[in-house]
Amino acid sequence: MNTSSNFLCRLTVVAACVLSAYGLAQAQEDSIVYRHHSVGSSGFAALEGGTTFKSIWAMSQTEEVRRQVYASLGRALAKQFSGAGTNDLGPLFVPLFSDLVQFESVADVRGQDGKLEWTVAVRLSEPRQKAWQEAFQQILTQAKLPIPSVGKLEGYPAGQAKFSEREFSWVSAGDWLVAGLGVGLGVGRPAQLGTMISGIKTAGRPVAALAGPWIKVNADLSRLRRSFPLLPEFIGSKLELTMAGKGEGVRTDAKLLFPEPLNWQAEEWQIPLNSIMDPVVGFSAARGIERLLRKNDEVGLLQLPAFPNQACSWSVASVPYFTFVAAPLTGVSNIMWNALPMLPTLITNHGKLSGQLLWVTNNTQIVWQGLPIMTPVVRPLFDGGREFIQAGMMPLPSHVRKPPEELFQFTKRANLAWYDWEITEERVNAWRRIYMLGLLGFLRESPMTNAPTQRLLDQLGQGRKLGNSISELTVTGPSELSFLRHSQVGLTGLEIVSILRWIDSSNFPFTWESTPFMDFKKNSALRKASRTNAGPRQVTPMPPSRQVPSKPAPGAATGAKPSGGASSLKLPAPAPAKPVQPSAPKP
Angstrom distance (rounded) from CA 542 to CA 333: 44
pLDDT at 544: 43
DSSP structure string for 476-515: EETTEEEEEEEESSS--HHHHHHHHHHHTSTTTTT---PP
Q: Is the CA virtual torsion 256, 261, 266, 272 positive or negative?
A: negative
Given phi > 0 = left and psi -120 to 50 = alpha, else beta, which region is 385? left
My answer on whether omega of the bond before 509 falls inside 30° of 0, hence cis, is: yes
Residue 208 near residue 39, CB atoms below 8 Å: no
Spell out, as residue ranges, where the chain has pLDDT lower than 70: 1-30, 81-87, 183-188, 229, 399-400, 520, 533-587
Task: Kindly report the backbone phi and psi dihedral angles of residue 516, in degrees, each rounded to the nearest multiple of 5, phi listed first.
Answer: -65, 160
Nearest in space to 376 (alpha carbons), one of 403, 409, 354:
354
What does the pLDDT read at residue 126? 96
305-329 pLDDT tens trace: 999 999 999 999 988 899 999 999 9
Nearest to residue 311, comparing CAs of 282, 338, 294, 288? Answer: 288
Cα(279)–Cα(318) distance, integer angstroms: 9
| pLDDT tens track for 6-32 | 444 444 443 444 344 333 333 334 589
Give the model's pLDDT for residue 142.
85
Q: Give the 3-state secondary structure of 285-313.
A: EEECCHHHHHHCHHHHHCCCCCCCCEEEE
Alpha-helical regions (H) of 241-289: none
pLDDT the model gives residue 30: 53
CA nearest neighbour of 56 among 568, 496, 508: 496
> For the stretch 487-500, what's the b/e string if a residue is b when 16 or more beta carbons lie within 10 angstroms of its beta carbon?
bbbbbbbbbbbbbb
